[in-house]
Chain A
Amino acid sequence: MTDDVLIELAGYGFQYRAQSAPTLHDIDLTVRRGEKIVIVGASGSGKSTLLSVMNGMVPHRYPGTATGSVRVGGSDPAQVPLVETSRHVGTVLQDISGQFVALTAREDIAFSLENQQVPAADMPARVQRAAALVDIEDHLDAAPHALSGGQKQRVAIAGVLVDDVDVLLFDEPLAMLDPASGRTAIELIDTLNREHGTTIVMVEHRLEDVLHRDVDRIVLMEGGRIIADAPPGEVIASGLLEAAGIRPPLHVAALAYAGAPVAAYQRPGSAETIALTDAQIAAVRNWAGGRDAAERSSEQPGAGAGSAAGGPRASAVPAPAPEAPVVPEVDGPTVLALEDVGVVLGASRTSPGERVLHGVSTRVRRGEMIGILGSNGAGKSTLARTVCGFVPHSTGRILLDGADASAWPIAQRGERVGFVLQEPGQMISKPLIAEEIALGLEARGLSEAEIAERTERVLEVCGLAPFRTWPVSALSHGQKKRLTIASVLALEPEVLILDEPTAGQDFAHYTEFMDFLASVNAGGTTVLLITHDMHLALEYTDRVLVVSGGQIIADASPADVLTDREITRRADLVTTGLHTLAERCGLPEPARLVRRFVEVDRQVRAERSASAQQRDGAQRADGADGANGGPA
């Protein structure tokens, strides 16, 4: 092994003690000094386990049996103490709040030094240097809850870099960040790699976001094996990504749909830098203009017409509610209306508080599926929480079915508006699925027959009927999420609000889950999705409300919002590669390409989900793996 090889696995396999089959098979992987590698794979592909092998958590914290060999910084992690491996390989965990253990950023960065008994007098200089590397010097006094997710991640990186590690290991660095901060994180990681020579290994399934900056290699995993390990161009052009459950970058998919797929030599990782051929540009132009997408999609309620009327509304001053709706009339009565709603948090005798929402007015009609978009801290969650009565509003009115609900307590609003938290674990308190669904129904004083009837119905709707006798603990994350939705749907609310419904899920689970939500919506329930994922809104909603700085700054179709530079800039939204592709192909109306893409993609997805349902029928549920053993 030469000095330049920092991590080397050869014929490595691993089986957790609590599991009946190995999680990793026959892994060969070499990480050299200065490289930047991304390991991608669907949930359960073994990528997190591979990461735990590299930092020594396997087998020190997660015991099991290993085969083959592994060397990290010249020694076998299993043979040396965990902290020894950490001197070579610094890990930034996915749960950045969990990694932030100290009371301030300064002390958290110093944590490792304290544990090595570095004298207090020597610490400030080293902390300062590490903080400067990640540009967090101005927040050293801050407590963790005063920092954003991106800032906490920087503190975590500094806390590792303070030890002069060779390799930085990132476990899903984008999972807890909104797209704008995710992009900044990727840029920072790239800078560390290029300017400071830090070797980078990332585990992530949001490939398009990772490829915002170039990487040296993509390592693709499936079923505990490495099925590709090559420069990004080759892996992207190989078509292996989709098969392994990873969404390829959107511009790559669009080129494939247009009949002009990318080749490895084009450096297809980023829409900005791909070397497009004339034939590809022509194909895209032809494909996007082939059919009038705008006209077609306006057949669907609420979509499209915003652009016909001259683009989405982007106003700095909130408009009064009764003004003519910007989005065309949707059939059905208004179920929820906000009139000039303002929220002030933390007001007291001594402090005027913080204005988190102001002048918010909007109407939601029965049967709509709406995305509430914005970056973290923009006020989109506060908006939803205000509707549910979790946060009191200081001005304006909230109308449910035309009745002024402003003074209603939480439980009464809950009869009309169901709220589903991002983390299903925060809502489930019963050991059995049916009990969990019945919990809210019993609280409402319904009869036993009624409870049984409704339980049966929502189990059916949510695809949980086959598991009705299972303990909750045997369900997978996605199934638990469905259970929380089932238990809220059983209360028969008119409006269902979901907070970041697909956070942290891989492409396959994301698609499956969103298709399920679309079917719930088709069943007549109005659905509001709080999300920072532009593409989710694009694919699944017909109308989006863009929240920024506590105001609704746009109310239009997602394709129009996505391609409006002004709005995306103000709301700190990240446009996808589709927009860049449209520009580079010289399309006058980028929204057109986006609509065309969504349209085709929906068809492809429908076919895919039809075949997936067939698969599901035969397959035993995969839930049991989440209950025990090590990390998935």
Chain B
Amino acid sequence: MTPRISPVTQVVAIGIGAALFVVLGLVRIPTPIPNTSINIQYALLAVFAVLYGPIAGALIGLIGHIILDAVSFGSIWLSWEIASGVFGLLLGFLMLRNRVMEGEFAGKDIVRFVVGVVIAQVVAFLVVAPLGDILIYSEPAGKVFAQGAVAALANSITASVLGVIILSVYARTRTRTGSLTVGS
């Protein structure tokens, strides 16, 4: 847990984070592969998990994904929604005690973040989601692991690339600027 964030702020971060997850999930960024779009919502989820901790991460993933599926398909697909929550939870844990809000995000933090994203994606979409599909929906293993692998790969790339850029800029907005002078 991140102690400096008030519980009310957590509640709001979960709500607004989930709203962002839904809106970004509705944005379709086409890729050259037909019928495949980039899921930028995982970059958002990664950023919020870093800033607001594992519980917020888990709930943003779960709530956001359930609402997203409900409003766009009129159905829910629990195994994948739980996987989104697991991604937020795990990444939040792996990034505990970061100092991004104090303006520190460089070198080692970036490596930790990228490794964290990859681990959390693999666990979420190569373990949790396919196992859920097999248990709940009795889908064939070959199919769901292939789907999970594609998702984990694509999400890892977008979430780490976009996440690093966003967190770097955010950290810089939090840096103290007392030492600046006016040039000419």
Chain A residues with CB under 8 Å of chain B are 20, 429-431, 465-474, 620-621, 623-624, 627-628
Residue of A nearest to B12 (CB): A101
CB atoms of A466 and B182 under 8 A apart: yes
- Give complex CA distance A473, B178 in Å: 12
Contacts of A473 in B (CB 8 A): 172-175, 177
Is B180 close to A, CB under 8 A? Answer: yes
Contacts of A469 in B (CB 8 A): 183
- Give complex CA distance A468, B183 in Å: 8
Q: Which of B158-184 contact A (CB under 8 A)?
A: 168-169, 172-178, 180-184
CB atoms of B177 and A467 under 8 A apart: no
Q: Do A620 and B182 contact each other (CB < 8 Å), given the known contacts A474-B177, A628-B177?
A: yes
The minimal Cβ–Cβ distance linking A424 to chain B, given in whole angstroms, is 13
A sample of 5 inter-chain contacts (CB < 8 A) reads A467-B182, A472-B173, A621-B180, A624-B177, A628-B176
The minimal Cβ–Cβ distance linking A82 to chain B, given in whole angstroms, is 10
Q: Is the interface of B mostly helix, strand, loop or mixed?
A: loop
Encode contact with A along B53-97: 1 for CB under 8 Å, 0 otherwise: 000000000000000000000000000000000000000000000
The one of B169, B172, B177, B184 in contact with A429, judged by C-beta atoms closer than 8 angstroms, is B169
- Give complex CA distance A467, B184 in Å: 8
The minimal Cβ–Cβ distance linking A447 to chain B, given in whole angstroms, is 25
Contacts of A468 in B (CB 8 A): 183
CB atoms of A471 and B172 under 8 A apart: yes
Contacts of A429 in B (CB 8 A): 169
* Chain B interface residue count, Cβ-Cβ cutoff 8 angstroms: 14
Q: Is the interface of A mostly helix, strand, loop or mixed?
A: loop
The minimal Cβ–Cβ distance linking A266 to chain B, given in whole angstroms, is 46
Residue of B nearest to A620 (CB): B182
- Give complex CA distance A430, B166 in Å: 10
Contacts of B180 in A (CB 8 A): 470, 474, 621, 623-624
- Give complex CA distance A465, B177 in Å: 18
Residue of B nearest to A467 (CB): B182
Count of CB-CB pairs between chains A and B under 8 Å: 45
Contacts of B169 in A (CB 8 A): 429-431
Q: Which of B174, B181, B182, B183 has the most chain A CB atoms inside 10 A of its CB? A: B182
The minimal Cβ–Cβ distance linking A626 to chain B, given in whole angstroms, is 9
Closest 3 CB pairs of A and B: A473-B173, A474-B177, A466-B182
- Give complex CA distance A472, B184 in Å: 17
- Give complex CA distance A465, B172 in Å: 21
Contacts of A621 in B (CB 8 A): 180, 182
- Give complex CA distance A528, B24 in Å: 32
CB atoms of A20 and B178 under 8 A apart: yes
CB atoms of A471 and B175 under 8 A apart: yes
CB atoms of A466 and B172 under 8 A apart: no
CB atoms of B173 and A465 under 8 A apart: no
The minimal Cβ–Cβ distance linking B85 to chain A, given in whole angstroms, is 23
Q: Do A431 and B172 contact each other (CB < 8 Å), given the known contacts A466-B184, A469-B183?
A: yes
CB atoms of B183 and A627 under 8 A apart: no
Q: Do A627 and B176 contact each other (CB < 8 Å), given the known contacts A429-B169, A431-B169?
A: yes
Residue of A nearest to B173 (CB): A473
- Give complex CA distance A431, B177 in Å: 13
Residue of A nearest to B184 (CB): A466
Residue of B nearest to A628 (CB): B176
Contacts of A471 in B (CB 8 A): 172-173, 175, 177
Known: A467-B182, A623-B180. 19 other contacts (CB 8 A): A429-B169, A431-B168, A431-B172, A431-B173, A466-B182, A466-B183, A466-B184, A468-B183, A469-B183, A470-B177, A471-B172, A471-B175, A474-B180, A621-B180, A624-B177, A624-B178, A627-B176, A628-B176, A628-B177
Contacts of A470 in B (CB 8 A): 177, 180
Contacts of A431 in B (CB 8 A): 168-169, 172-173
CB atoms of A627 and B173 under 8 A apart: yes
The minimal Cβ–Cβ distance linking A423 to chain B, given in whole angstroms, is 15
The minimal Cβ–Cβ distance linking A259 to chain B, given in whole angstroms, is 41
The minimal Cβ–Cβ distance linking A475 to chain B, given in whole angstroms, is 9
The minimal Cβ–Cβ distance linking A463 to chain B, given in whole angstroms, is 12
Q: Which of A465, A470, A620, A627 has the most chain B CB atoms inside 10 A of its CB? A: A627
